[in-house]
A and B are shown apart, each in its own frame.
Chain A
Amino acid sequence: MSTNNIVEELKKNIAHFQKEVEQEETGKVTEVGDGIARISGLSKCQAGEMLEFPGDVFGLALNLEEETVGCVLLGEYEHIKEGDTVKRTNRILSVPVGEELIGRVVNSLGVAIDGGKEIKSSKFYPIERIAPGVMTRERVNQPVQTGIKAIDAMIPIGRGQRELIIGDRQTGKTAVAIDAIINQKGKDMICVYVAIGQKESKVARIVAKLKETGAMDYTIVVVAGASSPAALSYIAPYSGVAMAEYFMDQGKDVLCVYDDLSKQAWAYREISLLLRRPPGREAYPGDVFYLHSRLLERACRRNKESGGGSITALPIIETQASDVTAYIPTNVISITDGQIFLETDLFYRGIRPALNVGISVSRVGGDAQIKPMKKVAGKLKLAMAQFREMEAFAQFASDLDPETKKQIERGQRITELLKQPQYQPVAVEDQVVGIFAVNNGFFDGVAVKDISVAEKKLTDFMNKSKRSLLDKIAAGQWDEKIEAELKEACGEFKN
């Protein structure tokens, strides 16, 4: 472009520029501290509106009182002092959304914190949005393959479901969620991992692992670290789900992990107490149930007429000393469509993932399994329950009848089969083959400790010589012929 052109363009732009009187409503800071500011004036301020403070700091109006507005500050607040002018922005807090965010690590406001280039998105979504209504929803009937044998076989998760992962610290809650994200590779899923109040080192490790496994190609990581203000921890999950909603509006399926919501509840409790809202049970404010229900209700599967797409939510809750009757765990258990319980005992006994099969449930269940898995794993949960009962009983009795002995041995083999190392998700067809083999006694001759080796050999064998059969299973086909073929293949392997 020549210089003349540029000058012309500039002149045109300036000519079009209209002189306008800007109208602004302002207020004054009367009190500031602990990430909270009180402002007098701003009589027309809306709830949840962004307020602009000097130095490009924004606040979120939460308390609208007779004469003052209570707001949380999203960012540094050391320079803000009494008497500073606060402007209304007439905008509800929104975050940038779009394809640009995929593969990035951002904070709760959608600002890149991975050292990469600035995220320039033209689209913004409000962080608070009403969840889709009854008429736009469809039943959950498509599976999310987590790649974890115990979960896919016994506690299946469907697209649009909300499945809680709950357990004490150090029981592998995050590991389950990360494995699920890693396993979405090539499955046309977008993943959003929201880290709330986590150690930055842990987040860095997770991001490195996701990069290593190629999972960052379809994942957005939203981080409100342990060092960030409570306000950012409070809004992080809402930002995450807003980013997910954009992809759902494109008709895509999204998996959203909130790690973890107990820390978000703590952040919200902190904010509420500082804003002098009355404390209730465990000092949480009265609307702490709504805090989580409005978030998790935004997970859904929409029907074709409404544009399709789904958001599957995997919230994580950390319990203290296995107390699931505390306030937040009971709330979230009642909101979600099932829960995955992880236990310390099992973890130290070497059963990893440390899943308690007895009390873990999925209320959507079998609808969200492919047919072969449903057929093969249908009775697995019951068998496992019976096995545990008999195992406890058998500890006292030395002489057992052959039938009981057989059942115990089968149970031990199933337990062994369901063990799985971290970051190694298993394809669904391989899971079906493994479970089929152990159910039909093909592993009875193998010592319990060698099960995983035998399973690996079986998988290799099947992938090498029976690929077409596996493809059929992966496509969800199952009839007597396929079953017979599978039996034959397993027999062939055994010899």
Chain B
Amino acid sequence: MRKKSNFQFAKALYEVTKDLPKSNLPEVIGQFVLILQKNNKLKKVNYIIEEFENYAKKQEGIKMVEIETARKLDPTVISKLKKTFGEKSEITELVNKELLGGARIKVDDMVYDASLKTQLARLKQALI
């Protein structure tokens, strides 16, 4: 039989724990760890946790938003962004001097690039 992927374990864990009362959680987690051990997956547990987080967020409609700017952002801008992407979204901010100006916003897999660096690169291509 084909090996199960980390993602499959993460998905299974999510499905099991979704509607679980809090009191049952320790038992379920205990069982899950046993299964991981049986499948020699204990070493990969970090990856499984990562996958689990991603999957759970996706299922619950939480968007991962990553904002990259050249300078530190105003809090008002962030609250505005939060409104656009939904209150549930998790926003992380990064400061990247290389962008020069503008912003690069990553929402899940989509990247909206409005940075000065990319625009200059495009201008260069258009001129040459």
Give the distance in Å from the alpha carbon of A361 to the alpha carbon of B111 in the complex.
Answer: 58
Tell me whether A25 and B111 are in contact (CB under 8 A): yes
Tell me whether A26 and B106 are in contact (CB under 8 A): yes
Give the distance in Å from the alpha carbon of A26 to the alpha carbon of B68 in the complex.
Answer: 15
Within residues 12 to 46 of chain A, which ones have a CB less than 8 A from any CB in chain B?
13-14, 17, 19-27, 41-43
Asked if A10 is an interface residue, CB under 8 A from chain B, the answer is yes
Interface size on B, residues (CB 8 A): 15
Tell me whether B106 and A17 are in contact (CB under 8 A): no
Give the distance in Å from the alpha carbon of A19 to the alpha carbon of B119 in the complex.
Answer: 7
Which residues of the other chain, B, contact A13 by a CB distance below 8 angstroms?
A: 126-127
Q: Interface on chain A toward B: helix, strand, loop, or mixed SS?
A: mixed
Nearest chain A residue, comparing its CB with the CB of B123: A17
Tell me whether A10 and B127 are in contact (CB under 8 A): yes
Asked if B113 is an interface residue, CB under 8 A from chain A, the answer is yes
Choice from A14, A17, A23 contacting B112 with Cβ under 8 Å:
A23
Give the distance in Å from the alpha carbon of A26 to the alpha carbon of B106 in the complex.
Answer: 9
Give the distance in Å from the alpha carbon of A24 to the alpha carbon of B106 in the complex.
Answer: 9
CB distance from A167 to the nearest CB of B (A): 41
Nearest chain A residue, comparing its CB with the CB of B106: A26
**Given known contacts A10-B127, A13-B126, A13-B127, is B113 in contact with A21 (CB within 8 Å)?**
yes
Give the distance in Å from the alpha carbon of A221 to the alpha carbon of B53 in the complex.
Answer: 52
Tell me whether B111 and A24 are in contact (CB under 8 A): yes
Counting chain B CB atoms within 10 Å of each CB, the highest count among A10, A19, A22, A27 belongs to A22
Within residues 43 to 91 of chain B, which ones have a CB less than 8 A from any CB in chain A?
none
Asked if A403 is an interface residue, CB under 8 A from chain B, the answer is no
Which residues of the other chain, B, contact A10 by a CB distance below 8 angstroms?
A: 127
Asked if A67 is an interface residue, CB under 8 A from chain B, the answer is yes
CB distance from B125 to the nearest CB of A (A): 10
CB-defined interface of B1-31 with A at 8 Å, one 1/0 digit per residue?
0000101000000000000000000000000
Tell me whether B126 and A24 are in contact (CB under 8 A): no
Which residues of the other chain, B, contact A27 by a CB distance below 8 angstroms?
A: 109
Asked if B114 is an interface residue, CB under 8 A from chain A, the answer is yes
**Given known contacts A21-B114, A22-B118, A67-B7, is B123 in contact with A41 (CB within 8 Å)?**
no
Tell me whether A25 and B110 are in contact (CB under 8 A): yes
26 interchain pairs (CB within 8 A)?
A10-B127, A13-B127, A14-B123, A17-B122, A19-B114, A19-B119, A20-B119, A20-B122, A21-B114, A22-B111, A22-B113, A22-B114, A23-B111, A23-B112, A23-B113, A24-B110, A24-B113, A25-B110, A25-B111, A26-B106, A26-B110, A26-B111, A27-B109, A41-B109, A43-B109, A87-B111
Give the B-binding residues of A (Cβ under 8 A).
10, 13-14, 17, 19-27, 41-43, 67, 87
Give the A-binding residues of B (Cβ under 8 A).
5, 7, 106, 109-114, 118-119, 122-123, 126-127
User: Closest 8 interchain pairs by CB?
Assistant: A22-B113, A24-B111, A41-B109, A21-B114, A26-B111, A67-B7, A21-B112, A25-B109
